[in-house]
Amino acid sequence: MKKLVVLIALFFLVSSSFSQISFQKGSLSEVLAAAKSQNKILMVDVMTDWCKWCIELDNKVYARKDIGDFANANQINYKIDAEKGDGVDFAKKFKIAGYPTIMFIDGDGNEVDRIYGYVPAKDFMEMMTDYNKGINTYTYLQKALETDPNNIDANLKMADKQIALGKNDEAKILLNKIIEVDPQNNSGKTDDAKFRIAAFSEKEQKIKDVQAFINDNPTSDQLKDAYVTVSESYFYEMDDLANSEKWFNEALSKYGSEESVKSSYGQFLNQRAVGLADKGTGAEDYKKGLDLIKEALKYVAGSVNEASSYYIQSKLYFNLKDYSNAMDSIDKALKIFDRKLYRDQKDNVQKQLSAK
C-alpha cells in the first residue's frame, strides 16, 4: 500500500501559480484512488473556462494561506472542467447546475456534500473543515433533526442547503420551526430565519417583506444583506432605478466598507453602463456609460468584476470610435480574466485599428 501511495503521489503535478492549494493533475479515477489509499476526502472544483466566479474563487479564496494549508494537509484537491473530458460525465452524474460547484467526495466516489457557487473565504473555510470532519453535511443534519427536530442550528443549516437546492418550501418549514422554538431570538438565529423567509417572496412583495424585516429587526446582523436585497430587487426585478439608487445609497452609507455591498453596487453600475453600450442611441449615452464605469471601478477594483467594467468600457469607447482607448480597456480586462468574449472584443477593435 505504501508503494502505491508513493507512485500515485509522484504521478501528480501541482497546477496553480496563484493558488495556495495544490490542485493535482491526472484522471478522475487516479485522484479517487489517491483519496482512497490515503483515507482522505477528495475536493473537486467543478468549473468552466468562462465562469467568472470560478476566477474569483481562485483569487479570493484559494489564494488564502490558511485555506491552502488546511486543504493540502487534509484532502486531495482537484479541478475539473464540466465541459471537457471526464468533467462532462462527472457534471451529469452529480447534476451540477451552476459553476463553480465544489464537490467533496469520499474515496469510493460517494458525495459527502458540496458548496454551491462562490462563497467568501471565512465561510468556505468553515464548510471545508466541517466536511472533512463529517459534520454539518446534508446526511449529518438529517440525522441531527431526526434526533432533535427543535435543534435550531441544524434547522438553519439544513434550510440553507434546501435553499441552495431550490427547495424553498422545504426550507420554509425548517425556518418557521426556528421561529416557533425561539420566538424571542435567544439563539440569535430567529432573525436569520425571518430574513430568509422574507427574501422568498417575489417583486413587490419581496420588497415589502424585506423592508418590514428591516424595520422590525433594527439590530439584526442580517441588515446588510437585507439592504442589498431591496436595492437589487428594485433594479433587477422592478426596473425602478430611482428607488434602487436610493436604497443602494442607504446601504453604502451604513455598510460601505463591506465587500458584498461594494460588489453589488459595482455590478449595478456595470449593468447600467452595459445597457447604454448595447442600446444607447448616440455619443451622449455612451459618455454617460463611461461615467458609470469610472464610478464602478472604485467599487469592483481587485475583483473579477473589474474585468467586466473594462470590457464594457471598451465597448463604449468602440461605439465612440475611440479605438485606441477601446484597445487599452480590453487589454486590461484580459489581464484579469482571459475569456473568449473579451478576445472577440479585442479582435473587433484590432480590425478597426488595422483599417485606419
Burial (0-12, 13-18, 19+ Cβ within 10 Å), 113 = buried
Helix (H, G, I), strand (E, B) or coil at 20: coil
- Residues 87, 62 share a domain: yes
Whether residue 224 sits in one domain with residue 189: no
**Residue in the structure block whose three cell numbers are 439590530:** 219
| 11 shares its domain with 107 | yes
Query: Is 273 part of any domain?
Result: yes
Residues (pLDDT < 70) of the chain are 1-18
Would residue 351 count as lying in a domain? yes
Q: Within 10 A of 39 (CB to CB), how many other CB atoms are there?
A: 8
- Judge whether 131 lies within some domain: no
Three-state DSSP state, 280: coil
Same domain, 17 and 54: yes
Peptide bond into 100 cis (omega under 30): yes
Q: Are residues 103 and 165 in the same domain?
A: no
Look up the pTM and report it. Answer: 0.87
- Asked whether residue 119 falls in the same domain as residue 9, the answer is yes
Give kind and range of the element (H or E) at residue 302.
Answer: none
Look at residue 15 in the predicted model and tell me its pLDDT.
39
Same domain for 107 and 15: yes
Determine the structural domain holding residue 231 and report its residue range.
Answer: 201-255
C-alpha 297 chain-centroid distance: 19
The CATH number assigned to the domain holding 30 equals: 3.40.30.10
Q: Tell which residue, 149, 99, 113, has the closest CA to residue 41.
A: 113
Under DSSP, is residue 41 helix (H, G, I), strand (E, B) or coil? Answer: strand
Same domain (yes/no): 68, 146: no
User: Helix H segments across the chain?
Assistant: 2-11, 28-37, 52-57, 65-74, 86-93, 121-133, 138-147, 152-164, 168-181, 190-199, 203-216, 223-232, 241-255, 259-279, 283-300, 305-319, 323-336, 340-355
What CATH number should be reported for the domain holding residue 192?
Answer: 1.25.40.10
And the C-alpha cell for 347? 479582435
Question: What is the number of alpha carbons within 13 Å of residue 312 lying toward its C-beta?
Answer: 32
Q: How many distinct structural domains can be found in the chain?
A: 4
Answer whether residue 235 is part of any domain.
yes
Q: Which of 215, 234, 255 is the last residue of a domain?
A: 255
- 7 and 118 together in one domain: yes
Residues 184 and 232 in one domain: no
Domain finish residue from 74, 105, 126: 126
Enter the C-alpha cell of residue 196: 430568509
282 is a domain residue? yes
**Pair 14, 116 in one domain:** yes
Together in a domain, 145 and 120: no
Give me the pLDDT at residue 18, please: 63
Q: Residue 32 is which amino acid? A: L
State residue 62's pLDDT score. Answer: 96
From 126, 159, 186, give the residue that closes a domain.
126
Residue type for position 16: S
In a domain, 59, yes or no: yes
For residues 339 and 335, what is the distance between their CA atoms, to the nearest angstrom?
10
